[in-house]
């Protein structure tokens, strides 16, 4: 197929109209102009063509780019393709795993799937193609797939705006999200929340075990600790400290943030949610208004502090300082020039919502993985003890330099990527894939799931095993055998837990530091054991992939 394939939908519409018109003319001639008969025949003809033409034009005539291997097996229905299968998987919290099943059924890293009558969707998992399309072509996010997010943060938020405004806003955010001050803040909050810092509050630890004494009290009493609650509490505190330099408000704020995710899951990929489930949409908007009011409160307090001389906004201390300065001055890019008055607040809400849930899931999976692999725990504890024998507070640069902890981080994100179902983009122009030269036409919806490339045996040896050794490191070859340099390169190329390119996650370094600090403090101070059989803990895809539960029992470690 050439580099300029025909656009599928206009061609399909023209063919359907032509066949329906022809059928209507013939029917009118045969039935003496009966309107009912003419319209009925035209409708039947249009339906048949709509069911047959798209696949015929794509797979046989090759009008719409290069035909790709197709998902075979049950689940495909006339006119709607596999859309019902997708909606069922979303409702059953297994959409990411459906993508893995599709990849196996297609027998190829890149494949096509029909999710409606008019056009195909494409799923890309070949690492070179994924990185090329996300990094070089950089198509915008698909409005339909991410429509639910727009109901919450607005379609003009930086997350959904993939043009110049997104690039400018991202450039503003990269500074405070990746600053040394931010890394120090992340470690300090984690240590305080886990009770390692005597000057901290340890609220997350107390919430996770239901004891005011936090984790030490739970360890002494043998009380179960809910790692998911622990991780959610400390990551919400961390992102709040980074964004507005303040603790997260007390309940019901945390519940509202968590419920916002649940409400968004309820309308995921749903067509016309405002018409079909207006009560859910109203609930989403009410929660958003609540969070906007919270951000507005922080902004008002910040402006009062600046006016009273209690706060200096330059140089900026946090994300709020950066965005307030940009909005007030117009900045070099003027990203808020002419924007809705609440857009800055909604951008901050986007950071808070995206910055705590996914990181909490990663921490929960990391604890689960280390608990279920004693040899990994032993190697990790040995490295932590050697680096910090006195058990002092951790420095962020020391955590970043630990090779086995880094391998555990990378392997956790490979084996259990939080955004397992990945992202979806709509091509703005035809794209030629570097792996095989296949051409995809403009307007094609392309999915980039993370589980298939992460769990593919051609890119990761023994993909379903938790093997930090695949990432090397000073202690990397002690667990599960030695991986070759070639296999390590393949694993690194396929590692895309934060996507790739200009729209990749700007807070990935912050998430990494929170993960490393949590595991360093937790496993450095305690032996951690699951309180339930590992086989009873399952993966659940609720927009993010999370464990069903991670209850643990802590035993204090004795230091020599």
Q: Summarize the annotated binding site for heme as residue ranges.
A: 505
Q: 């656009």: which residue's tokens? A: 7
d(CA 148, CA 156): 13
Please state, as a whole number, how many other Cβ atoms lie within 10 Å of the Cβ of residue 549.
18
265 is written with which tokens?
């899951």
The conformation of residue 57, written as its DSSP 8-state character, comes to I
Name residues whose C-beta falls within 8 Å of residue 469's C-beta, 6 or more positions apart in sequence. Answer: 407, 476, 477, 478, 479, 480, 481, 482, 483
492 is written with which tokens?
């690194």
Contact call for residues 223 and 526 (beta carbons, < 8 A): no
Name residues whose C-beta falls within 8 Å of residue 366's C-beta, 6 or more positions apart in sequence. Answer: 408, 409, 412, 515, 518, 519
Closest CA to 373 of 529, 524, 525, 519: 529
Please state, as a whole number, how many other Cβ atoms lie within 10 Å of the Cβ of residue 137.
18
d(CA 552, CA 228): 10
Rounded-to-10 torsion of CA 27, 31, 37, 43: 0
Please state, as a whole number, how many other Cβ atoms lie within 10 Å of the Cβ of residue 332.
10
Contact call for residues 366 and 227 (beta carbons, < 8 A): no
Closest CA to 24 of 43, 8, 3: 43
Binding residues: 505
**501's torsion region: left (phi>0), alpha (psi -120 to 50) or beta?**
left
Contact call for residues 544 and 214 (beta carbons, < 8 A): no
Query: Cα 424 vs. chain centroid, distance in angstroms?
Result: 11
Rounded-to-10 torsion of CA 243, 245, 247, 253: -40
Contact call for residues 360 and 352 (beta carbons, < 8 A): no
> Which DSSP string do the residues of 312-342 spell out, in sequence order?
--SS--SHHHHHHHHHHH-TTT-TTTT--TT
d(CA 278, CA 270): 12
Largest CA distance in the chain: 100
């Amino acid at each position: 197929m050439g580099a300029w394939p025909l656009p599928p939908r206009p061609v399909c519409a023209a063919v359907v109209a032509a066949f329906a018109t022809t059928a209507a003319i013939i029917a009118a001639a045969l039935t003496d102009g009966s309107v009912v008969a003419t319209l009925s025949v035209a409708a039947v003809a249009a339906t048949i063509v709509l069911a047959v033409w798209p696949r015929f034009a794509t797979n046989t005539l090759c009008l719409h780019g290069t035909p790709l291997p197709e998902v075979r097996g049950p689940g495909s229905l006339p006119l709607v393709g596999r859309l019902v299968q997708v909606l069922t998987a979303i409702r059953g919290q297994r959409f990411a795993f459906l993508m893995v099943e599709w990849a196996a059924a297609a027998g190829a890293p890149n494949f096509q799937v029909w999710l409606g009558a008019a056009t195909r969707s494409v799923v890309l998992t070949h690492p070179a193609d994924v990185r090329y399309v996300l990094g070089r072509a950089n198509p915008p996010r698909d409005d339909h797939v991410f429509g639910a997010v727009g109901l919450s943060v607005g379609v003009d938020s930086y997350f959904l705006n993939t043009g110049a405004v997104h690039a400018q806003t991202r450039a503003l955010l990269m500074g405070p999200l990746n600053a040394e001050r931010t890394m120090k803040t992340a470690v300090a909050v984690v240590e305080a929340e886990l009770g390692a810092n005597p000057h901290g509050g340890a609220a997350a630890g107390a919430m996770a075990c239901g004891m005011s004494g936090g984790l030490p009290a739970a360890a002494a009493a043998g009380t179960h600790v809910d790692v998911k609650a622990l991780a959610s509490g400390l990551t919400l505190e961390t992102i709040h400290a980074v964004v507005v330099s303040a603790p997260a408000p007390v309940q019901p704020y945390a519940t509202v943030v968590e419920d916002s995710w649940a409400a968004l899951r309820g309308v995921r990929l749903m067509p016309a949610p405002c018409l079909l489930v207006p009560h859910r949409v109203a609930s989403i908007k009410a929660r958003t208004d609540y969070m906007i009011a919270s951000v507005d409160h922080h902004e008002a307090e910040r402006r009062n502090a600046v006016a009273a001389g209690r706060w200096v906004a330059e140089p900026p201390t946090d994300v709020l300082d950066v965005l307030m300065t940009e909005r007030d001055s117009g900045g070099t890019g003027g990203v808020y020039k002419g924007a809705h008055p609440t857009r800055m607040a909604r951008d901050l809400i986007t950071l808070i919502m995206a910055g705590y849930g996914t990181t909490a899931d990663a921490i929960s999976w990391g604890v689960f993985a280390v608990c279920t692999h004693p040899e990994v725990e032993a190697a990790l504890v040995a490295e932590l003890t050697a680096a910090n024998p006195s058990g002092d507070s951790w420095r962020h640069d020391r955590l970043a330099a630990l090779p086995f902890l880094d391998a555990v981080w990378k392997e956790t994100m490979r084996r259990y990527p939080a955004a397992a179902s990945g992202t979806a983009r709509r091509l703005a122009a035809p794209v030629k894939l570097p792996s095989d030269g296949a051409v995809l036409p403009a307007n094609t919806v392309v999915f980039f799931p993370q589980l298939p490339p992460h769990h593919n045996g051609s890119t990761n040896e023994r993909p379903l095993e938790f093997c930090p050794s695949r990432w090397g490191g000073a202690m990397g070859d002690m667990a599960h055998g030695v991986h070759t340099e070639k296999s390590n390169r393949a694993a690194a190329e396929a590692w895309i837990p934060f996507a790739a390119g200009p729209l990749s996650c700007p807070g990935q370094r912050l998430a990494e530091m929170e993960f490393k600090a949590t595991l360093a403090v937790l496993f450095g101070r305690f032996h951690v054991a699951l309180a339930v059989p590992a086989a009873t803990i399952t993966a659940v895809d609720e927009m993010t992939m999370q464990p069903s539960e991670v209850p643990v029992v802590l035993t204090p470690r004795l230091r020599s």
